[in-house]
Amino acid sequence: MNASDLRAVLKKYWGYDDFRGIQLEIIESICAGRDTLGLMPTGGGKSITFQVPAMTMPGLCLVVSPLIALMKDQVANLKRKGILAQAIYTGMSHDEVLIALDNCTFGHYKFLYVSPERLSSELFMARVRRMDISFIAVDEAHCISQWGFDFRPAYRTIADIRRILPGRPVLALTATATPEVVTDIQRQLQFKEPNVFKMSFMRKNLSYNVKRIRGSAEEEIATLLNTFPGAAIIYTRSRQKTEAIAEWLTTHGTAATFYHAGIRHADKTLRQEQFQHGDIRVMVATNAFGMGIDKADVRLVIHVDVPDSPEAYFQEAGRAGRDGQMAHACLLVDRRSASVLHNRIEETFPPIAYVRRVYEDMCLFLQMAMGDGEGVTREFDIRQFCVNFRHYPNRAYSALMLLDRAGYISWQNPEESRSRVMFVMRRDELYDLHLKPTEDRVMYFILRHHTGVFSEYVYISEAHIAEELGVAETVVSEALVALSRQHVIRFIPRTFVPHITFVSRRIEPEEITLQPSIYQERRAQMEKRIETMISYINSPYCRSTLLLNYFGEHNAKECGICDNCRGGIMPELSITDADISRLSKVIIELLKQNGPTFVRDIKIPSASPDQIGHTLHELLLNEQIATQPDDPTIVMLK
């Protein structure tokens, strides 16, 4: 298919006249049947690169994505365009999974989204053989590399899928990959030949800043929020901090909420929607928030704690300014930041003696006898474990992860178990009830789609019910709680249930060994990332070029808008769209009258140098003005 035909598909379904950046090159490569790796920054339009070619090719595109929120969002968007898409994720019942797989096997579906963990299920592997797969799209592809900052072993299963789907090309996509990881992604995904398309990671509209905390973190946050109007995300590593900061902001008049992995799924959905729609200005969150949240007009991202790696920081900071308008990323630091980062190395890679101790304590906690346990799965309450054996939770968790990677156990991360319901009223009694309309609809949906509900608990999915009824998931949850209070049903909501499976029999602690690739090499990688973050904090050079150099872009120009490029000073005055519009007209008129002009000579009454600088940057972004090729301090009309 030629470029004009691809543009026609883009226009028909997405409404865009043309592709951006390297999108077309990636699409033409995958359409030609070539294994392809696309490196595109956050907001670069990765989804277009697999959705457009899938619409031009016969069969189904299999999309591997690690994020349920992203899957749901993209499936919903595709359905709104009239495109049949399906996702399989945690929380769906066995029957719902079977129906989804049947739809993709026998129907005319164009997209099937699955998590990497789903690929290893025997049911999925059997069904995928019968599907007409056009190609495989792998999102967040850096997760497949052991050298990636967010390694997920389940991604390695993609190679098995390739063996049962010979001849189908793979499109791998990521926004964060060093040259080393780029090479490893292609090796792990068994590319027939190297084939990489890379878009510059330069974000011309994003100002990176490091701010030393003088008073309290909350006061610094308040100052930044007052300086830069618009939506903001505040990242912190602690769940308790998210709640405390959100409460402080709310008390001081800022609409804020918090988000972390420990809150109920329905609450996550509600808070995402509130932030997305502008009902909440500030989201205070751990790194559990952000991926798959398509909010383009975030103006400010603040990090209260320094991330462990440039990859994590680049990805999280990059959620600001995805609409192309001016945005700021600010990293708050104090004199303890470097030592805190170094302590994380010891926390993530504790000594082998400690790992052996955790193994022994875990076996005692789960009452596993010596020589027994191979293939046995047990629920594991890590909080109670840490209380009983006096372990620090983070350090104990790290030890368990090392045991998992070494193949002694299989740790299944705490995921929400499926909700369950059972009717306690007889069927004939239901007709005499006077329920609210939503309660009535939810009740009859369960009766129509589930059998045995009067004799035993059955699994349900609030998300699926909500989608079918066309209401918010929170509405369904509230209806189920109301039905339970009226003694119509017994309702057991989803809970977090971690499990441990013993891959091999219990052995003596001294027999535990950790291969270099699991311990020494990965520790060295973390040390390198930590040192890079400390250098980033302390460096006097352009922060944008520091990040770009890390990702292999060694000829990047200074951004001109970070705090270091501004002489170590962050912008102090906020500027509104109305200000930019007014100042733009004045500057354009000055350039019409005076011709090419030094930036330092542009002076406007009642406007600060910072506001003039912001406006000039917007005019450059919109290509209304340009700089002299031989002297970037001189601007002129385009």
What pLDDT was estimated at residue 518? 85
Is 606 or 503 the better-scoring residue by pLDDT?
503
Closest by CA to 42, choosing from 423, 350, 322, is 322
Report the alpha-carbon distance of residue 442 to residue 447 in Å, rounded.
9
Of the given ranges (107-121, 489-503, 567-581), which has the lowest mean pLDDT? 567-581
DSSP secondary-structure letter at 509? G
- Mean pLDDT calculated for residue range 429-454: 90
- Classify each residue of 476-513 as buried b or exposed e, where b means 16 or more C-beta atoms within 10 Å of its C-beta: bbbbbebbbeeebbebbbbeeebebbbbeebeebeebe
Topology adopted by domain 3-198: Rossmann fold (3.40.50)
pLDDT tens digits, one per residue of 506-542: 999 999 999 998 899 889 999 999 999 999 999 999 9
Q: Is the pLDDT of residue 493 over 90?
A: no
Beta strand residue intervals within 170-274, DSSP E: 170-174, 196-198, 206-212, 231-235, 256-259
- Phi and psi at residue 14, to the nearest 5°: -115, -10
DSSP secondary-structure letter at 79? H
pLDDT tens digits, one per residue of 562-614: 999 887 666 555 566 777 888 888 899 888 888 888 877 888 876 766 678 77
Best mean pLDDT range from 38-47, 244-253, 470-479, 617-626: 244-253
Beta-carbon contacts of 505 under 8 Å, excluding residues fewer than 6 positions away, are 371, 372, 373, 374
Q: Is the pLDDT of residue 415 over 60?
A: no
Is 420 or 497 the better-scoring residue by pLDDT?
420
Neighbours of 631 (CB within 10 A): 10
Report the alpha-carbon distance of residue 492 to residue 535 in Å, rounded.
50
Q: Is the pLDDT of residue 33 over 90?
A: yes
Of the given ranges (56-60, 120-124, 429-433), which has the lowest mean pLDDT? 120-124
Q: Identify the burial level of 366 via C-beta atoms within 10 angstroms of its C-beta, where 0-12 means exposed, 13-18 middle and 19 or more buried.
A: middle
What pLDDT was estimated at residue 610? 64
Q: Identify the burial level of 145 via C-beta atoms within 10 angstroms of its C-beta, where 0-12 means exposed, 13-18 middle and 19 or more buried.
A: buried
Instruction: Write the DSSP string, 173-194.
Output: EES---HHHHHHHHHHTT-SS-
pLDDT tens digits, one per residue of 526-535: 999 999 999 9
Q: Is the pLDDT of residue 293 over 70?
A: no
* 460 alpha-carbon distance from chain centroid: 26
Q: Is the pLDDT of residue 621 over 90?
A: no
Output the average pLDDT for the chain: 88
pLDDT tens digits, one per residue of 449-475: 888 889 888 888 887 888 889 888 888
What pLDDT was estimated at residue 574? 56
Residue 229's pLDDT band (cuts 50, 70, 90): confident
Specify the domain boundaries for CATH 3.40.50.300 within the chain.
Answer: 3-198, 206-340+528-550
- Global pTM reads 0.72
Report the alpha-carbon distance of residue 41 to residue 322 in Å, rounded.
10
What pLDDT was estimated at residue 287? 87
**CATH number for domain 350-415+497-518, candidates 3.10.150.10, 1.10.3720.10, 2.40.128.20, 1.10.10.10:** 1.10.10.10
pLDDT tens digits, one per residue of 159-186: 888 888 888 999 999 988 888 899 999 9
- Mean pLDDT calculated for residue range 498-512: 92
Q: Are 587 and 615 in contact (CB under 8 A)?
A: yes
Is 419-492 CATH 1.10.10? Answer: yes
Question: Which CATH architecture fits 206-340+528-550?
Answer: 3-Layer(aba) Sandwich (3.40)
Of the given ranges (177-191, 192-206, 609-623), which has the lowest mean pLDDT? 609-623
- Mean pLDDT calculated for residue range 101-125: 86
Q: Is the pLDDT of residue 94 over 80?
A: no
Q: Domain 577-637 has what CATH class? A: mainly alpha
- Mean pLDDT calculated for residue range 197-224: 90
Q: Is the pLDDT of residue 480 over 70?
A: yes
Helix, strand and coil content of the chain, in percent to the nearest 5, comes to: 45, 15, 40
Specify the domain boundaries for CATH 1.10.10.10 within the chain.
Answer: 350-415+497-518, 577-637
pLDDT tens digits, one per residue of 141-165: 988 887 776 677 778 888 888 888 8
Residues of the chain above pLDDT 90, percent: 48
What pLDDT was estimated at residue 457? 84
- Phi and psi at residue 419, to the nearest 5°: -70, 155
